[in-house]
Each structure stands twice: as C-alpha cells, then as structure tokens.
Amino acid sequence: MPTHGVARTSWQGLAQVTRERYIPQVTETLVRGRLLTAFLRKKGRFKMNETGDQLTWPVMYKQTQPRQLGDGQSLIFTRKDHHKQAGIDFRSYYAEDLITHINERQNRGPEAMVKLIATKMESLKTSMTDFWNSQLYIDGYASGNEQSMHGFGSFDGESTTVAGDKIAKPGDTYGGVSTAVGAAGGSWSTDMTASPNASIATDWPFGGGANGQLDAQYDYWSPKLWNWSSTAWNNGGTTWKDNCLSVLRSSIEVQQRLCGSAGRPDLFLTESQMCIDLKDKLESRLRIQTPHKEAMDLGFASTILYDGLGVDTDYSCPVNSGYGLSLDNLSILSQHDELFKSWGPEWKTDRLAYIFLCVFLGNAKYTSPKFFFKTKNYA
C-alpha cells in the first residue's frame, strides 16, 4: 500500500525542533567519544559533500631510476608510466526508529512528547555511534559486507606466515590493487641471515633496494603486519607482553624509514587486554608512564606516549590485534553535508507511526596501506 502524508500537527512541529536539537549530537558524540575519530576531526580528515558513485585516485607506484652521465654522453629519453589507479565505491548504513500512533496518543502533552522524541534520538545516537566505530576495523570486501565501509580489515589480509617470521606476508587487495610485496616489480636486499618472513625471502621490511636500485615500487601498497607471537623476537617468550616493546619499536622505526615523516604513525590502538599488558610492560621498565598531551587536550587522559606514538584502547579493536595509524593518510568521506543525514518525524499510514531515520553514505579512504601497520598473533 502506498504511504500518504497528513497535515502537520502541532506536536509534529515540536518534534521537528526536538530532532534538530538532538540529531547533531549523534555526530558530535561519535566524533568526540572515541580517540580515533577525535583525532581525525582535529586533523580535518572528515570530508563532506563527496559526489559520484565511485571514488578513484591515482597511485604513484614507481619512480624514475636516475642514470650515470658521462661528459659528452648522449641522453636517453623514454616514456614511463608511474601510476596505477585505485578505486572504491560508497557504502551506506541507516538507523531507524518510530513513534506509533498509540504512543503519540498516550503522550500528547508537550513535555511528554519532547521526552519521547528525545528518547528516540538518543537511541539512534547510541546505535550509530557504537556501530559506526566498529566498522572502522572490518573487511569491506568480505562476504556479507558488500555495503559496509572499508575498514582496516579491507587491506590487512595475510598470506604465508610461520612461527619464525617476525612479519606476516601481505596478501590482500584494496582499491583493486594487490598489497603483496613485489607485485608491481622492484627489488629488495637479501643480506640478513634470516628473512623477517621466510616466504618473502628478502630483508623486507628491513634493508632496502637491491644493488642501489630504487625500492619504492616493491612495497608501495603493502601494510606491515607484525607477528607478535613469533619466536624470532628472542625476548624469552611468544606472548604479546613478552614482545610488545620490540614489536612497537620495530614498527615505528620501519614506518618512519620507509614512509618518511608523512607516514609516521600517530596512534597505536589495541583491545583492552593487550593495552593493559603493554602499559604493565612500560611501567616495569620505565617506572613512569608519560601522558600523551595531544590526546589529553582532547579529553582522553588514559592515552600514554611511547616514542612519539599515542597508545590507548579502542573498544572496537579485534581481540589479539593492534593497529598503527597514520591519520594524515586516512579520510572519512560523506556524501552529505554532515556525517549523518536525518529525516523525520514523517507519518506513514501503512505503519500507523511517525518514523525517524539517520543515514551514513560514504566510506573510509586510505592513501595507501603502506602507511599503516597491524600486529597480531599470526603464527
């Protein structure tokens, strides 16, 4: 049956005013309530009013190899293609609620209606906040996630990894481009006695380009996936608490060397037990934990500083996992002029109810998986 509008009632006008007051708080609570989104807002990483059905961007995967030049030598010019194209689509979620005709009749007083509408808005706020944050960690390509956001899991899949490997072998695709090292060519040194990953069989992510060649294309789209349970850390055990400082130190140094200052991670976020173990380890070594001033200024007093990195818990982070994030290389895109768009109350005759709707239409975009790292007990 088609739906029909009805004449605007006095309380519906009240409802509109109440909605306009509460719906902006959905976005505000989302942004301010989690360390990650608070930092993204501070850095201006929310991009509104995006258009189109597909987001594509050029990715520079290759550099020109300089040549030696002798006196009087003729120059050689060749055409070079240094770019690939990555692309993702936009994804959408909605949260809905309603006030039935019976509810409306039972709560006709202005104060009662305001409370009822506020309850509906609060419900949408809580639902969208908790759910949307959890989506930042999912695989947007996994079965059942075809309409879900591209979270970190969209590029952190691994391939062959064994207990003696310090790092897992990247084996995923993001934006239609493979994350495997060497997938686009390039070379890497093989000077270490034991490769960080036996299957990769080079010094990556340590070492560098082989024979003085440029190495940028070798890992231009590859995240670092550190295996915290590896036997190769030589810290007397294979637990996160045994190896956490070695893993973090390696992660920070490698990211800074391979990505430059633009790729240095801002935050390391993990689940609660791993964060507790890490803080215990730091306290046993340093006897004092330095607060992270930037996070404290945003209202997150529990965030600590380790080698320039903000370390804290994120309640949506998967168990046994931690993520190193370079926030200048992450954007949250929305096709609306705000993060969430809302409608209602609107009367629906077929439901005998006033409906409320809150929608997100957008996605998360990563400049390259190269600027991110993950740690997990891979093997």
Q: What is the pLDDT of residues 265-311, one digit of tens each?
A: 999 999 999 999 999 999 887 767 889 999 999 889 999 999 999 99
Could you give the CA distance from residue 201 to residue 210 in angstroms, rounded to a whole number? 13
pLDDT of residue 40: 93
Q: What is the pLDDT of residues 164-218, one digit of tens each?
A: 999 999 999 999 999 999 998 888 999 999 999 999 999 999 988 766 555 788 9
Strands 83-89, 54-60: pairing kind: antiparallel
Could you give the CA distance from residue 175 to residue 171 in angstroms, rounded to a whole number? 14
Could you give the CA distance from residue 315 to residue 208 in angstroms, rounded to a whole number? 36
The number of residues in the chain equals: 379
Q: Global pTM?
A: 0.86
Strands 83-89, 304-306: pairing kind: unpaired
| Residues 313, 315, 318, 324, Cα dihedral to 10° | -40
Cis, bond preceding 205 (omega within 30 deg of 0): yes
pLDDT of residue 29: 59
Q: pLDDT means per 10 residues in the chain (379 residues)?
A: 44 59 59 83 93 84 75 80 85 92 79 76 81 95 96 97 97 96 91 96 88 75 98 96 97 92 90 95 81 92 93 95 97 92 84 89 96 97
